[in-house]
Amino acid sequence: MLPNPASRTHLHKRELTFNGYAREDGLWDIEGRLCDIKSTPFNAGDRVWPPGEAIHDMSIRLTVDQELMIKDIEVSMDANPHPECPEVLPLMKKMIGCRIGKGWRKAIDNNIGGITGCTHLRELLSSMATAAFQSVPGILISTDSSKPPLFLGKCQSWDISGPVVLRHFPQFYRGKTTLE
């Protein structure tokens, strides 16, 4: 838990929610939602939002296969600040055929970057990769025992020369072999 903060006034809340589902057809749905809510009235030029009403409420559903190849994408904007915002929704279909993995953020930028997309949808889509990795069995740990799990070397706990890797994946451990 964080220590008590200095005296302050709440201004903004952003909620990101992710869910993964196994489908009956052998595919997976990864859903993400981004919701921004202000605690004070917010003027975006086209209208003023009262406190507590969502300024952004956007959702994405990715349908992926076992290799995390995007087979379909559905997007909604239940709240957005400008009438032009929903114009990007059909452009999100450009992500079909892309694979979640190495180069994911580059694929997002190449297909829906800049003025061809929406900053908030790109942020949500980028973060959905983690939910996909957590949801699709066999993605993080290969059935081929000669291949290291994708998460090794990606954080302090999974350092290939650290004790966690030594305990759980000794075949990939690259630290000291004797205790000193």
Q: Say if residue 140's pLDDT is above 80.
A: no
In the chain, CATH 3.30.390 sits at 12-135
**Band of residue 109 on the pLDDT scale cut at 50, 70, 90:** very high
pLDDT exceeds cutoff 90 at 142: no
Kindly give, in sequence order, each residue whose CB lies less than 8 Å from that of residue 67, ignoring residues fewer than 6 positions away: 99
Topology of domain 12-135 in CATH is Enolase-like; domain 1 (3.30.390)
- What local confidence, expressed as pLDDT, does residue 143 receive? 75
Q: How confident is the model at residue 81 (pLDDT cuts 50, 70, 90)?
A: very high
Q: In what order do the strands lie in the sheet with 54-64?
A: 12-22, 28-38, 54-64, 70-79
Confidence check: pLDDT of 179 > 60 = no
What pTM was estimated for this model as a whole? 0.86
